[in-house]
Amino acid sequence: MTGSAPALRVAPSGASAELPAELDFWHPVLRSEELEERPARVRVAGVDLAVFRSEPRPRHGGGRVAAVLDRCPHRGASLSGGAVKDGCVVCPYHGWSWAADGRGRSPGNPEGSFRTVAFDALESDGAVWIKRAGTAVPFPRVDAAGFLEIARMRVRVRAPLELVLDNFIEVEHTGKVHYVLGYDTERMDEVICRTEVSAQAVRVYNQGPQKPMPWILRRLFRYPPNAHFVDDWTTTFAPVRSVYDQYWIDHTTGERAGDYLRNTVFFTPIEASLTELFVFLHAEATAWGRLGLNSLALKPITAWLGKLEVGADVKMIEGLADKSTEIRGNQLGRFDKGPLAARNRVRSIYRRGVAGLDAAREPVEE
């Protein structure tokens, strides 16, 4: 399994294209504030797209976004290098313009009929999303009701999607790699790790002694000295994303203690050996409300910690001695059950697009 995206082939007219199956699903490609008046270039599964605002963005958000192939069917110019006028992206080479539905107009050939490949695009949850036009798949809305948004970030990792996902859905590395959230390597045998596998999802529940943390951070998250850290996540594959519920429990009483974090991470293959993480960081709004939701200290510190932890993961992944996605022959342990189940579903669902989603059945023995 290489994880590479098939080469994109565009018909001479620009009217059709063979797109990778991964593009059947919605992917976040930009933070809303990153898409301004000019078009932006994004890349998903080896395909370059020009994303633009077909309607100006109102002061408080909204408007309409659009996306077409980042290649003018006329002479191959990059449309993302052009401008937006009257709701269309205008080619910087000859001034041909392309609407959100792919229809084109040539100033020098006003009677001509021209088309390019257009994509479904929308703006939601503070992000711009795209997918292949017309595919009937659910939109993966970020479930953060009752939580305060801490940060949204895009991070690229020079490694295949499978290796990046492996890292983000196991906790055995947290003792060595993470700075704050995770488990002590010397007590990793005490960590409970339960894996639940269904046709379209993999859930992993982890619970064990929190690794030593500076007292000021322990006070920040309000958990007692004997707390167990819980990292409970579910990964789905249409597109590939993991939702993490992270909190602490008092080991002596079994009751929840401290604050509650919810983080959602989307894993997008940019190309075979490059993956982009789109991360939504949230904290429980009711807990943060004790000092005000717009606290000048708590929100920035938590955002900084989230970026620090993700950065530590990225550094480790990019430094791997072997970045092959082949896993046969590796010596694996109990924390690897989740990643193995996830890899199977990346292959059988995500890499097959709508066909894989429709064919998903109750899982066979992993």
Q: Which domain holds residue 177?
A: 147-359
- Residue 4 belongs to some domain of the structure: no
Q: Are residues 126 and 155 in the same domain?
A: no
Determine the 3-state secondary structure of 264 from DSSP: strand
Domain assignment present for residue 208? The answer is: yes
Which of 10-14, 115-119, 326-330 is predicted with the least confidence, judged by mean pLDDT?
10-14
CATH number at residue 116: 2.102.10.10
Q: Is the dihedral of CA 220, 304, 335, 144 positive or negative?
A: positive
Q: Which of 132, 165, 190 is the last residue of a domain?
A: 132
Single out the residue in 105, 132, 159 at which a domain terminates.
132
* 364 in a structural domain: no
Mean pLDDT to the nearest integer, 315-321: 97
Please indicate whether residue 356 or residue 11 has the higher confidence score (pLDDT).
356
Neighbours of 167 (CB within 10 A): 17
Instruction: Give the pLDDT confidence of 15-27 residue by residue, as tens digits.
Output: 446 899 999 999 9
User: Could you tell me if 192 and 105 lie in one domain?
Assistant: no
Question: Does residue 189 sit in the same domain as residue 295?
Answer: yes
CATH code, domain carrying 155: 3.90.380.10
Total Cβ atoms within 10 A of residue 30: 18
The mean pLDDT of 205-209, rounded to a whole number, is 95
Tokens of 78: 């990059």
* 8-17, 273-282, 322-331, 340-349: least confidently modelled range: 8-17
Q: Residue 317 falls within a domain, yes or no? A: yes
Q: What is the pLDDT of residue 293?
A: 45
Same domain for 117 and 238, yes or no, is no
Whole-angstrom distance, CA of residue 343 vs CA of residue 358: 18
Q: Does residue 127 sit in the same domain as residue 155?
A: no
Q: Is-contact 138 354, C-beta < 8 A?
A: no
User: What secondary structure letter does DSSP report for 134?
Assistant: T
Q: What is the pLDDT of residue 302?
A: 84
Instruction: Domain count for the chain, please give it.
Output: 2
CB 76 within 8 Å of CB 124:
no
- Where are the extended beta strands (E) located within 219-334? 227-237, 240-250, 256-271, 274-284
Pick the closest to residue 23 from 104, 137, 102, 115 (CA basis).
137
Check whether residue 92 and residue 172 sit in a common domain: no
Shared domain check, 124 and 197 = no
| 198 inside domain | yes
305 half-sphere exposure, CB direction, 13 A CA radius: 24
pLDDT value of residue 14: 45
Within a domain: residue 182? yes
Q: What is the pLDDT of residue 13?
A: 42
Residue with the bigger pLDDT between 213 and 59: it is 213
Q: What is the pTM of this model?
A: 0.90
Query: Which phi and psi (to 5°) does residue 13 adopt?
Result: -75, -15
159 shares its domain with 290: yes
Q: How far apart are CA 238 and CA 223, in angstroms?
A: 35
Inside any domain, residue 140: no
Based on the domain organization, do 259 and 166 belong to the same domain? yes
The answer to whether residues 304 and 201 belong to one domain is yes
Distance CA 214, CA 220 (A): 10
Same domain? For 200 and 151 the reply is yes
Boundary of a domain, candidates 100, 132, 164:
132
Within this chain, do residues 156 and 303 fall inside the same structural domain, yes or no? yes
Mean pLDDT over 158-167 rounds to: 98
